[in-house]
Amino acid sequence: MTWSILERKADLRAKAGLSRSLSHRAAGDALVDLAGNDYLGLSRHPVVLDAARAALDAFGLGATGSRLVRGSTRVHEDLEARLGEVLGGAALVYSSGYLANLGVVRGLCRPRTPLIRDAHAHASLVDGCRLAGIEAEVAPHSDPAALEAMLRPGAVVLIESVYSVDGDLAPLPELYEVCRRHGALLVVDEAHALGVIGPDGAGGVAAAGLSGAEGLVVTATLSKALGAAGGVVVGPPSLRRHLVDTGRTFIYDTALPPAVAAGAHAALDLAAADAALRGDVADRAAFAASALGVPAPAAGVLSVPAPDAAGAVAWASRCREAGVAVGCFRPPSTPDGSSRLRLTVNAGIERDVFEAAVAAIVEARP
C-alpha cells in the first residue's frame, strides 16, 4: 500500500462526512461535558483522588510490568476481590475494557465454537471474534426468538446489557433462558451499566437477578461510571485461571497502573453506597430524553438521531459553539449505519448548568 492510496481513502471519507480529528481538552475546560463517560461525576471526587494519590506514592506512576512479572500489587488484588463481590464471580482485571473483551472471547472459543454476537455489540466484542479466528454469526438486535433459532449446543453468545450507542437495555432474562435451553454460554458486557443500574449499582445482570448464574460471564470497563480506566472479566474460578495461564491480552500487557486501580476501587464503593447519585443519573437522562423527544434510556447514554453524517457533525459543532460538548457518532461507529449525537449524563455537573446545556442542544438542532 502506498501513501497516495491512504490519501485517496482520506479524501473519500471527507466527502462522505466521515473524517475524524483530534482536539485536546485543556485542564479546566469550560465546555459542559455531555460527551465523556463520567456518569456519576466520580473522576474528580476527593475520595477517589485521595486513594489514587496514596497508591501513586506507594507504587509510582506505572505498574512497571505485566501482572505475571512485577505488575501485580495488593491494590489490584483488592480491586479484583471487590469487583468479584459486586459482579458475582472470580474477577480478573485488565488494563482496558477493550482488552478484557478481546481476551475473554478468545479464551472461551475453540476453532469450531459457534460464536454469535448481537448486531449492536461493541467493536471490542466484534474484534474479539476476529482474534478468535471465527466468523461470528450476527443475531438481530435484542431478539430472543431470533437468537433461539440460531443457537447450537456449545455456542458462545456476546451481548451488552446497556448498549453503548443507543443506550437501550437488553432483555437479559429472556436471552439467558434461551441460552440455557440450548447449552450456550452468555457473555454480557456491563460497560455502561456497572455503577449506574441494578442493586447497589451492580449492573444489568444483577438487576435481572442473574449474578453468579451458571453459564454466564460478565465483562465491564472501569472507565465509564467509575471515571477511571481498566477492564474486568468475571466468571467461575476456572475461567480466571484459564485467562491467567493462556490469555495473551492479559499475559503480554503491562498492568493497570496501581493508582488507577485504587481510584477505581474507591469509585466502585462510592457508587454502591449512593443510591441518590444513581437516581440522579436516571432523572437527568429522563429529563434530557423528554426535551429532545427520544425514548428515555436504560442508564446514562442518550441517543439522538441526526439527518445524516454531515448533519451530525454540523449539529455537534453548533453545540460546541454554544459551550456544550456532545458525542457525534457516524458510520462505521454506529451499528445500523445511521448517524446520531450521543449524550452522556454527568451527575457531577450542577443541575441548572445541565438543563441549560440540554436546552442549548435543542436550540442547535438541525
Query: Quick one: cell of 176?
Result: 439467558
Is pLDDT at 62 greater than 70 in this prediction?
A: yes
DSSP secondary structure string for all residues of 63-79: --SBIIIII--HHHHHH
Give the pLDDT confidence score for residue 177 in this predicted structure.
98
- Evaluate if residue 1 carries a pLDDT over 70: no
- CA dihedral 262→264→269→273, nearest 10 degrees, is 150
Q: Residue 321 is placed in which grid cell?
A: 459553539
In the chain, what are the domains? 19-40+275-363 (3.90.1150.10), 46-272 (3.40.640.10)
Mention every residue, 6+ apart, whose C-beta is less than 8 A from residue 170: 118, 142, 159, 160, 161, 162, 163, 188, 204
Confidence tier at 27 by pLDDT (50, 70, 90): confident
- Across the range 300-321, mean pLDDT stands at 92
**pTM for the structure as a whole:** 0.92
More confident residue, 150 or 12: 150
- Mean pLDDT over the full length of the chain: 94
Q: Give 332's pLDDT tier (boundaries 50, 70, 90).
A: confident
C-alpha to C-alpha distance for 97 and 218, rounded to whole angstroms: 11
Position 203, amino acid: G
pLDDT tens digits for range 75-111 = 999 999 999 999 999 999 999 999 999 999 999 999 8
Write the DSSP symbol of residue 117: E
pLDDT at 95: 98
pLDDT, residue 237, reads: 98
